[in-house]
């Protein structure tokens, strides 16, 4: 049985993609889907007991309930914390999008639901002539956009939505994420985005210390394919 699969992007780096991807994965698991996570490119890995680890990959894998080889979950586990094009070049790697798509297809065969966390913002480069947007396009998945609520997020969100649609992809929904608990006019920002973004808001995530019960802040039932 094939269940939902989504590509999670965001308005920037460090705005809650991993946090929200993990919440979404847990919600899918709670619905009864055998759920896998993918982080195709992770820039910033450290050696622990002889094995390379990345925080995002570890967080996503611990939320998922389909266990997979790390080489499938994260085909490009890069050591250098930087934009993926720079990180890959530092590590002597070349990010090959068809290889990532191949890994995704293998994961799709092993899981009912798959959540793919993008890297950085939507258009972050992978090389001199490829980017994260090319990957999203070739995966062809509906996109969920995490908007990190902070000054400047409105334009970032609208630009991201335009870029998603320019690639022929569907913006399935967006999530307002209160990364900055002191943000001024946060409600006004959310209302503005509701007016300008032609996609449903899937919820507003409060600023939290723990995300174990954070699924209650999202209304994921409106997404296609969500029901088992």
Ligand X SMILES: Nc1ncnc2c1ncn2[C@@H]1O[C@H](COP(=O)(O)OP(=O)(O)OP(=O)(O)O)[C@@H](O)[C@H]1O
Contacts with ligand X by CB under 6 A lie at 10, 13-19, 56, 120, 177-179, 205, 207-208
Q: Of residues 39, 110, 150, 228, which has the active-site annotation?
A: 39
Q: What letter does residue 74 receive in the DSSP assignment?
A: -
Sheet containing strand 113-117, strands side by side: 35-38, 113-117, 5-10, 143-148, 171-177, 201-205
Question: Coil, helix or strand for 104?
Answer: helix
What is the per-residue burial (b if ≥16 Cβ within 10 Å, else e) of 66-101? bebebeebbbbbbbbebbbbebbbebebebebeebe
Residue indicated by tokens 């032609």: 198
Q: Is 56 in the site for Mg ion (CB under 5 A)?
A: yes
Provide the minimum distance between the beta carbon of 130 and ligand X in the complex, in angstroms, as a whole number. Answer: 18
Question: Coil, helix or strand for 161?
Answer: helix
Q: Is 178 in the site for Mg ion (CB under 5 A)?
A: no
Provide the minimum distance between the beta carbon of 207 and Mg ion in the complex, in angstroms, as a whole number. Answer: 17
13 binds, among Mg ion, ligand X, none (CB under 5 to 8 A by kind): ligand X
208 binds, among ligand X, Mg ion, none (CB under 5 to 8 A by kind): ligand X
150 binds, among Mg ion, ligand X, none (CB under 5 to 8 A by kind): none
214 vs 22, 195, 208, 218, CA distance in Å?
Answer: 10, 25, 8, 8
Provide the minimum distance between the beta carbon of 164 and ligand X in the complex, in angstroms, as a whole number. Answer: 16
Reply yes or no on whether 31 is catalytic. Answer: no
Q: Is 24 in the site for Mg ion (CB under 5 A)?
A: no
- Interface residues toward Mg ion, by CB under 5 A: 17-18, 56
Catalytic residue annotation: 39
């Amino acid at each position: 049985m094939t269940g939902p699969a989504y590509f999670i992007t965001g308005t920037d780096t460090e705005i809650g993609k991993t946090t929200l991807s993990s919440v979404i994965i847990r919600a899918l698991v709670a619905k009864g889907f055998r759920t896998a996570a993918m982080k195709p490119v992770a820039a910033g890995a450290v050696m622990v007991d002889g094995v390379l680890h990345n925080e995002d990959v570890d967080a996503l894998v611990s939320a998922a309930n389909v266990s997979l080889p790390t080489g499938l979950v994260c085909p490009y586990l890069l050591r250098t914390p930087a934009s993926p094009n720079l990180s890959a070049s530092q590590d002597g790697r070349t990010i090959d999008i068809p290889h990532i798509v191949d890994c995704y297809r293998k994961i799709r065969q092993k899981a009912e639901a798959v959540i793919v966390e993008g890297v950085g913002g939507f258009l972050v480069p992978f090389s001199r002539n490829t980017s994260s947007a090319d990957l999203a396009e070739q995966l062809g998945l509906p996109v969920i956009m995490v908007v990190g609520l902070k000054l400047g997020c409105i334009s970032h969100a609208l630009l991201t939505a335009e870029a998603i649609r320019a690639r022929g992809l569907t913006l399935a929904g967006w999530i307002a994420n209160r990364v900055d608990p002191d943000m001024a006019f946060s409600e006004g920002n959310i209302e503005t985005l509701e007016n300008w973004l032609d996609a449903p808001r899937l919820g507003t995530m409060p600023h939290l210390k723990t995300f174990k019960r954070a699924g209650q802040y999202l209304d994921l039932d409106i997404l296609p394919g969500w029901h088992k």
